[in-house]
Structure 1
Amino acid sequence: MAAHTISKLPSTTRTPPLLFSISDSNLRRRPDPYPPHLGRTLRPPQSVLHPCAWLGTNQLSLHSSNLRQPPNLSKRRPITATVSFSLPTAKPERDSSSTVKIPKWSRSAIKAFAMGELEARKLKYPTTGTESLLMGILIEGTSLASNFLRANGITLSKVREETIKLLGKGERFFFSPEHPPLTEAAQRALDWAVDQKLKSGDGGEITTSHMLLGIWSEVESPGYKIMATLGFNDEKAKELESLSSEPGFVDD
């Protein structure tokens, strides 16, 4: 009975209306969907109205011509990084001397110094001390000094733990500068490394081994105390010095 009733209903199939047609001479669009009595406040800008044939409605579309780029975008300069081949020194008169050629620091030593600064910032310390330089050597991870420390049981986690025990934690809301200045002990350790390299007269670069031995030369510094606590001594310092002074030694 239901099937018979449905069969007698008039057909409601209609041909879908033509939304718009494109020809060489004109473009006919469907009527404005916003009646005049609604006012002009509901009308979106005509510059962004675009007929969508699939949905049958006017949709908002974004074109490259409608997107505003920030001013002077094309005039922005690319970001560049500057790599230094020297570390801070307290003896500028030595560097300016024309009779003495100051050796360059090795790549691993420069990286260890940069990692030491970063570690000082992580711990929220206002300065980069010998303890930070020591952690920087361990973070660098590929040099003879770094491998020598780990072989003798001195690891980054142990040094960091001893550093916090000795110096405490930084203030919670304190922000270290981008390049925390060196403490006097840390500066003397770097200058010691340069002086020892000059005394050797064997040429080459100043390495992380020189940096580590410079830290060890500062007996009152936190770096020295931490190394001594973890088992480093004068015999191991001499062993490291002997290894780093072998002919053909390269720190990288």
Structure 2
Amino acid sequence: MGELEARKIKSPDTGTEALLMGILIEGTSFASKFLRANGITLLKVRDEIGKLRGKPDMFFFSPEHPPLTEATQRALDWAINEKLKSGENGEITAAHMLVGLWRQQESLGHQVLVSLGFSDEKAKELHSLISEPGFKDNE
């Protein structure tokens, strides 16, 4: 979903901001509910991205599959490593991806979260919740 969001904002790549929008647009995951409970919505994120990036060139068309930025790849790698460290089976969740995204402090996705009031305390809260044994994403 992040890739699709990158194309919607006419981005040449799939950055952490697109990953953030993908988490929100999915809508049913624990991460998207956590974000909305903290006042972070898809519309606010899109608006903030526009403020930080400026308007895209109306004649630019994103590639069909915009490649991941280095920050997005690091966020996803972190999510995978965290899941492996937990020793539990199952999927890497959107919540793991969100915490991985938060750790990419130089990224646009992180900047958007900060500007919308997300903080280290919220990230720690989310991380502790997903680190609990038996955490299920869609409950």
Question: What is the TM-score with the length of structure 2 in the denominator?
Answer: 0.94
Higher relative contact order, structure no. (Cα contacts within 8 Å, ≥ 6 residues apart): 2
User: 2: distance between equivalents of 1:195 and 1:244?
Assistant: 13
Cα distance in structure 2, aligned partners of 1:219 and 1:249: 26
**Structure 1 residue 203: Cα displacement:** 2.7
1:139 Cα deviation from its structure 2 partner: 0.2
Residue 198 (str. 1) matches residue 88 (str. 2):
no
For residues 157-176 of structure 1, the aligned pairs below 5 Å read 157-176=43-62
How do 1:73-112 residues align onto structure 2 when only pairs under 5 Å count?
none
Partners of 1:118 and 1:226 in 2: how far apart? 18
Segments of structure 2 that go 5 or more residues without pairing to the other structure are none
Cα distance, 1:193 vs structure 2: 0.7
Partner of 1:247: 133
1:197 Cα shift?
Answer: 1.3
Tell me how far 1:196 sits from its aligned partner.
1.3
2:25 maps to 1:139 = yes
The 4+ residue runs of structure 1 with deviation greater than 4 A are none
- For the pair 1:222 / 2:108, whether they are aligned, the reply is yes
Q: Deviations over 1:9-50 (max 9, x none)?
A: xxxxxxxxxxxxxxxxxxxxxxxxxxxxxxxxxxxxxxxxxx
Counterpart for residue 129 of structure 1: 15
How far apart, CA to CA, are the structure 2 residues paired with 1:185 and 1:248? 29
Does the 8 A contact of 1:124 with 1:169 survive in 2? no
- Residue in 2 that maps onto 1:3: none
Give a deviation string over 1:107-137, Cα, whole Å, max 9, x none.
Answer: xxxxxxxx21111111111111000000000
Question: Which residue number in structure 1 is paired with residue 68 of structure 2?
Answer: 182
> What's the counterpart of residue 213 of structure 1?
99
Q: How many residues align structurally?
A: 138
Distance in 1 between residues matched to 2:95 and 2:82, nearest whole Å: 11
Distance 2:55 2:67 in 1: 18
Q: Secondary structure at the match of 1:121?
A: helix
Instruction: Percent identity, please.
Output: 72
Q: Take 1:184 and 1:198, find their aligned partners in 2: how far apart are those partners?
A: 21
